[in-house]
């Protein structure tokens, strides 16, 4: 391959497109990190999603939820009950922004109650995803285009 061909390949390189392809290819991994975060009862900024009421009914529900998922801690909201919301997580790529959401019918209600900070990932999880999942898929795509 000549230097001119290499330079032409470099000029034709569309990193945003290749990044989108790598993101789609590692979608299950990306969403699994988000579900793990929900199981811990955390927003994408690392704060607690919320806590259950201290009323009798709230305490009883907190115990019920804690028995189902102790990872969030007693009394902490985890937004996982039937599993529909977390199983229907998805994302859309808008140029360089990833919009994470759920197709579950309760999603908009939950956003109204807790805000939209419970979808997405904290920086440390995002760094892990990038290193473990995204870059190993992305870099071979870049190299194959450069060497085409």
- Each residue's pLDDT, cut to its tens digit, for the chain (148 residues) gives 788 888 888 888 888 899 999 999 999 999 999 999 999 999 999 899 999 999 999 999 999 999 999 999 999 999 998 999 999 999 998 877 889 999 999 999 999 999 999 998 888 889 999 999 999 999 999 999 888 7
At 120 the pLDDT is 87
- For 29, 88, 89, 90, 108, the CA distances from 104, given in Å and listed in that order, are 19, 6, 8, 10, 9
Structure tokens at 21: 């392809």
As a whole number of angstroms, the distance between CA 31 and CA 121 comes to 9
| Alpha-carbon gap, residue 2 to 12, rounded angstroms | 15
Q: Which tokens hold the place of 20? A: 């989108």
Q: Give the ranges where the chain is alpha helix by DSSP (H).
A: 3-12, 15-25, 27-39, 56-68, 84-87, 107-114, 123-129, 135-146
């Amino acid at each position: 391959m000549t230097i001119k061909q290499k330079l032409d390949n470099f000029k034709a390189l569309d990193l945003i497109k290749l990044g989108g392809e790598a993101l789609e290819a590692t979608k299950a991994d990306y969403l699994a990190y988000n579900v793990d975060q929900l199981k811990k009862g955390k927003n994408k900024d690392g704060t607690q999603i919320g806590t259950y009421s201290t009323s009798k009914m709230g305490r009883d529900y907190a115990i019920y939820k804690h028995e189902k998922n102790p990872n969030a801690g007693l009394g902490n909201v985890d937004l996982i009950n039937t599993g529909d919301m977390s199983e229907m997580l998805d994302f859309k790529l808008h140029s360089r922004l990833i919009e994470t959401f759920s197709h579950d019918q309760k999603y908009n209600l939950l956003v109204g109650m807790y805000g939209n900070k419970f979808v997405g990932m904290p920086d440390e999880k995002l760094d892990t995803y990038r290193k473990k999942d995204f870059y190993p898929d992305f870099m071979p795509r870049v190299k194959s285009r450069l060497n085409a």
